[in-house]
């Protein structure tokens, strides 16, 4: 949720971690405090795998002992990776490394992490689906504008390939929208330069 935080709950996921988690983050708890509080009322925390990032960027993660292996998590300088049912224990570390080495947009950094996970062994069930979602760091006051990227590919033999193309197209589209917004704000010359650059990129693709 824009301006509040990000929560991922998986393995034998409990949706309350997401719903209640965002509520208590909004109320002012840190990621660590929120995760501890919800785990304390969960009758089966050993089955859960959860990661939280609060609005100030603090990170907390948990992998229960009953999660199906290989399972684990790693907290980086600016990200967290969680994974279960993986072929190797190298997956979550590879995701953090790839994310933090990339200097691209957030959506492309997430794609780099997903590709690194697959290269490190990936899911023992093979590729099935993939998602990239990015929300604004601060609330705009217009909820329909707070999702910057929300893309997914389901039930496909090569979801990362398809999702990667969609993320790149989404990035170009968002740059066009940004250019038009700047033009409306009176920055017509800068906006025109950006549109020209995008047209050249499209011609060379």
Structural domain range at position 151: 127-205
Instruction: For residue 68, tell me if it sits in a domain.
Output: no
Distances in whole angstroms, Cα of residue 135 to Cα of each of 27, 38, 107: 19, 23, 10
User: Mean pLDDT, to the nearest integer, of 145-158?
Assistant: 94
Q: Return the percentage of the chain with pLDDT > 90, whole number.
A: 75
Instruction: For residue 162, tell me if it sits in a domain.
Output: yes
Beta bridge partners of 74: 81
Instruction: For residue 103, tell me if it sits in a domain.
Output: no
Q: How far apart are CA 96 and CA 114, in angstroms?
A: 10
- Give residue 145's pLDDT: 83
Instruction: For residue 180, tell me if it sits in a domain.
Output: yes
Instruction: For residue 114, tell me if it sits in a domain.
Output: no
Q: The dihedral of CA 36, 42, 43, 46: what is its sign?
A: negative
Instruction: For residue 44, tell me if it sits in a domain.
Output: no
Instruction: For residue 137, tell me if it sits in a domain.
Output: yes
- Give residue 180's pLDDT: 74
Residue 204 has pLDDT above 80, yes or no: no
Domain tally, the chain: 1
Q: Do 81 and 95 form a contact (C-beta atoms < 8 A)?
A: yes
Instruction: For residue 186, tell me if it sits in a domain.
Output: yes
pLDDT tens track for 82-139: 999 999 999 999 999 999 999 999 999 999 999 999 999 999 999 999 999 999 989 8
Is the pTM higher than 0.85? The answer reads: yes
pLDDT tens track for 25-49: 999 999 999 999 999 999 999 999 9
Q: 50-64, 100-114, 181-195: lowest mean pLDDT where?
A: 181-195
Buried b (16+ CB within 10 A) or exposed e, 35-54: beebbeeeeebebbbbbbbb
């Amino acid at each position: 949720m824009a301006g509040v935080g990000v929560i991922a709950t998986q393995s034998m996921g409990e949706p309350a971690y997401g719903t209640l988690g965002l509520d208590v983050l909004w109320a002012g708890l840190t990621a660590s405090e929120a995760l501890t509080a919800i785990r304390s009322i969960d009758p089966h925390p050993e089955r859960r795998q959860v990661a939280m990032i609060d609005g100030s960027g603090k990170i907390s993660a948990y992998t229960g002992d009953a999660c199906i292996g290989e399972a684990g998590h790693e907290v980086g300088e600016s990200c967290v990776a969680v994974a279960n049912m993986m072929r190797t224990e190298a997956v979550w570390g590879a995701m953090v490394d790839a994310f933090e080495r990339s200097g691209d947009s957030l959506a492309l950094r997430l794609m780099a992490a997903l590709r690194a996970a697959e290269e490190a062994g990936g899911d023992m069930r093979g590729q099935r689906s993939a998602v990239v979602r990015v929300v604004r760091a601060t609330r705009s006051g217009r909820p329909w504008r707070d999702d910057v990227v929300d893309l997914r590919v389901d039930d496909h033999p090569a979801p990362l390939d398809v999702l990667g193309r969609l993320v790149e197209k989404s990035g170009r589209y968002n740059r066009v929208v940004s250019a038009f917004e700047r033009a409306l704000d009176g920055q017509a010359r800068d906006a025109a330069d950006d549109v020209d650059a995008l047209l050249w990129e499209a011609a060379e693709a």
